[in-house]
Homo-oligomer: A and B are copies of this chain.
Amino acid sequence: MGALRLPSLTSIFTFSPARSSLFFRRNNHFHLRNLTSATKVFAKSTTPAVTEVSPADSNNQKTGPGQQQEQGITPRSQDFNAWYLDVISMAELADYGPVRGTMVIRPYGYAIWEAIQDYLNVKFKETGHSNMYFPQFIPYSFIEKEASHVEGFSPELALVTVGGGKELEEKLVVRPTSETIVNHMFTQWIQSYRDLPLMINQWANVTRWEMRTKPFIRTLEFLWQEGHTAHATPEEAEKEAMQMIDVYTKFSYEEAAIPVIPGRKSRVETFAGADKTYTIEAMMGDRKALQAGTSHNLGQNFSRAFNTQFADENGQRQHVWQTSWAISTRFVGGIIMTHGDDAGLMLPPRLASVQVVIVPIWKKANEKTEVLDAALSIKDVLHASGIKVKLDDSDQRTPGWKFNFWEMKGVPLRIEIGPRDVSSRTVVVSRRDIPGKPGKVFGISMEPSVLVPHVKEKLDEIQLSLLEKATAFRDSNIVDVSSYDELKEAISQGKWARGPWVGSDEDELMVKEETGATIRCFPFDQPLGPKKCLMTGSSAEEVAIFAKSY
């Protein structure tokens, strides 16, 4: 079978062979230590417990490994899950809420979500959708109206049974998703074909009573956007569902630097109440799949259940055709698990709330003023040119500590400036994604006409490099298989298996039972030529991708 092509969206990036040599460079970053300000959340000590590392300059942060390691990040290669939780806590992305399975999204983590919102909100409006807001309390009877919907969601519901001190006559569902209440309202708003298409979106919290939770990836309450549309024809609904999965795909590649594979879900994995579910599937650093966004063609399932009809141009009453689509705070988890390394978080520049951190370096008091003045002026220049820049001018921490800290926080680019740099009117620029000297450029002029374009170019290079690295990792971990044995072998190696499939739902469930892998999707990008199902040997139309997943 021919290798699959990347989705066409990736063609916006130019892949250069010279860059690809960086893909598997061993990451030599040292572990964090002495992160008292980051770790105290978890230490809960009652004393400030500030342990300073010895003074460090632009070079001696590399002397770190010899020092005592204290509450560093678990190496990613050693324990991916522990590493993930360490990154979330030390980078102050989120914290556990008091109720099991809930999460507090802290400012640095919420800023990633805001960047996602800022991009998508514009795209949704450009594609004709309006924001609005539906109540989160849904009468229980609504959930029961669509048969497969209630089957899918009833085990996960949170119910309000008491309001204002009184037992409620009808218990209320805290929305797990809003198709039912949306259709209840659409039925009132839609009368004729002139009211169609009706295309709305809401940014909201949703609740699903999950038993096994994980910060960002699966929490009792999470934040998302949910788009809901109604159309006069099935063709329009299908076009809309595809348009929105394309918006998500483009977002993933261009903004998040995550090379998702867009495709169609199997019947087994289709949303409860949809005719078809489209998905973007991302490969995490541990090679598990993450369903990072979905778009559903709901057909007439909800419009029949809620009698959402319109009068067509001939005055005939017809049920509307619908879609819904969502991306959630889960995506933040996807960013962490795609790009992070042993040193911590690594943010794609386009979603980073701090794109550049400036670390001033001085030893003597008389050096401090001139270094800080220069650093401040660089900050102002970068800020004025639209770059998100932070100057870490604290004198509580050494430069070496700051280097480690901001690397752990995933800031894409660091500018170092010391007394000698001030004399020569230059700075050192360090990339987060390339450890050590190969990632540094020395002697960049402070002149705005030189520095600003250099920084912008570096940010673009990092953005591209993260995508290239993730793409190479993904492609080297997808195995084309033509038999069930090959599939089992690939999955047991922790890889994704891609092979022709016309198996039954039962076959699919058996694969899950025996290997732990599910069909992630039938990718839109399909190989040409005849295919035989890896399970049944029958002629197959499509390949499917199997993987273990979050």
Q: Which of A46, A155, A174, A210 has the most chain B CB atoms closer than 10 A to its own CB?
A: A174
Complex Cα gap A194–B37 (Å): 9
Stretch at the interface among A156-164, A436-444, A475-483: A156-164
Query: How many angstroms from the CA of A157 to the CA of B161 in the assembled complex?
Result: 11
Contact call A133/B160, Cβ cutoff below 8 A: no
Bound: A205/B178 CA distance, A: 15
Return the contact of A99 from the options B107, B139, B191 (Cβ within 8 A). Answer: B139
B99, B114, B133: the one contacting A105 at CB < 8 Å is: B133
In the assembled complex, A188 has its CB within 8 A of some CB on chain B: yes
Contact at B396–A194, with CB atoms within 8 Å?
yes
**Contact in complex: B48, A185 (CB < 8 Å):** no
B156 touches A159 (CB 8 A): no
Interface assignment of A103: CB less than 8 Å from any CB of chain B: yes
Stoichiometry (number of copies):
2
A189: B residues at CB distance < 8 A: 41, 95
- Give chain B residues whose Cβ lies under 8 Å from the Cβ of A159: 160-163
Assess the A95–B188 pair: CB atoms within 8 A: yes
| A interface residue count range (under 10 / 10 to 19 / 20 to 34 / 35 or more) | 35 or more
If A162-B159, A205-B204 touch, does A137 touch B106 (CB 8 Å cutoff)? no
Q: Which residues of B have CB within 8 Å of A160? A: 158-161, 174
115-163 of chain A: CB within 8 A of chain B? 130-139, 142, 154-163
Any B CB within 8 A of the CB of A511: no
Q: How far is the CA of A278 from the CA of B82 in the complex (A)?
A: 46
CB distance from A130 to the nearest CB of B (A): 4
Q: Give the residues in chain B near A41, CB-CB below 8 Å.
A: 188-189
**Could you tell me if B139 and A98 are in contact, using CB atoms closer than 8 angstroms?**
yes
State in angstroms the CA–CA spacing of A109 and B134 once bound together: 12
Closest to A131 in B: B110
A159 nearest in chain B by CB position: B162
Contact indicator A130/B107 (Cβ below 8 Å)? yes
Residues of B within 8 A of A473 (CB): none
**A135 and B102 within 8 A (CB):** yes
Tell me the complex Cα distance, A114–B131, Å. Answer: 9
Task: Name the contact of A209 in the complex, choosing from B102, B132, B163 (C-beta under 8 A).
Answer: B163
Name which residue of chain B comes closest to A107, CB basis. B130
CB-contact partner of A138 in B98, B133, B156, B311, under 8 A: B98
A223 touches B133 (CB 8 A): yes
Return the chain B residue nearest A137 by Cβ: B99
A355 smallest CB distance to B (angstroms): 17
Flag whether A192 is at the interface (Cβ < 8 A).
yes
Q: Mask for A190-231, Cβ within 8 A of B = 1, else 0?
A: 011010000010001101011100000000110100000000
Contact among B46, B130, B161, B221 with A162 in the assembled complex (CB-CB below 8 Å) = B161
With contacts A161-B162, A164-B156, A174-B160 taken as known, whether A48 is within 8 angstroms of B137 at the C-beta atoms is no
CB pair A165 B154 closer than 8 Å = yes
Set of chain B residues within 8 Å of A161, measured between Cβ atoms: 159-162
Q: How far is the CB of A159 from chain B (nearest CB, A)?
A: 4
A375, CB-defined interface residue at 8 Å: no
Q: What residues of chain A have their CB less than 8 Å away from a CB belonging to chain B?
A: 37, 40-41, 44-48, 95, 97-99, 102-107, 109-111, 113-114, 130-139, 142, 154-165, 171-172, 174, 181, 184-185, 188-189, 191-192, 194, 200, 204-205, 207, 209-211, 220-221, 223, 311, 315, 317, 396
A-B contact pairs, 26 of them (CB 8 A): A37-B194, A45-B191, A46-B191, A47-B191, A47-B311, A95-B188, A95-B189, A98-B135, A98-B139, A99-B138, A102-B137, A103-B135, A104-B135, A105-B132, A105-B133, A110-B131, A110-B132, A137-B207, A155-B164, A157-B162, A158-B160, A160-B174, A163-B220, A164-B210, A165-B209, A194-B396
Task: With A98-B181, A136-B205, A155-B165 given, name 10 new contacts (CB 8 A).
Answer: A104-B133, A105-B133, A107-B131, A137-B207, A157-B165, A158-B160, A159-B160, A161-B161, A163-B209, A174-B174
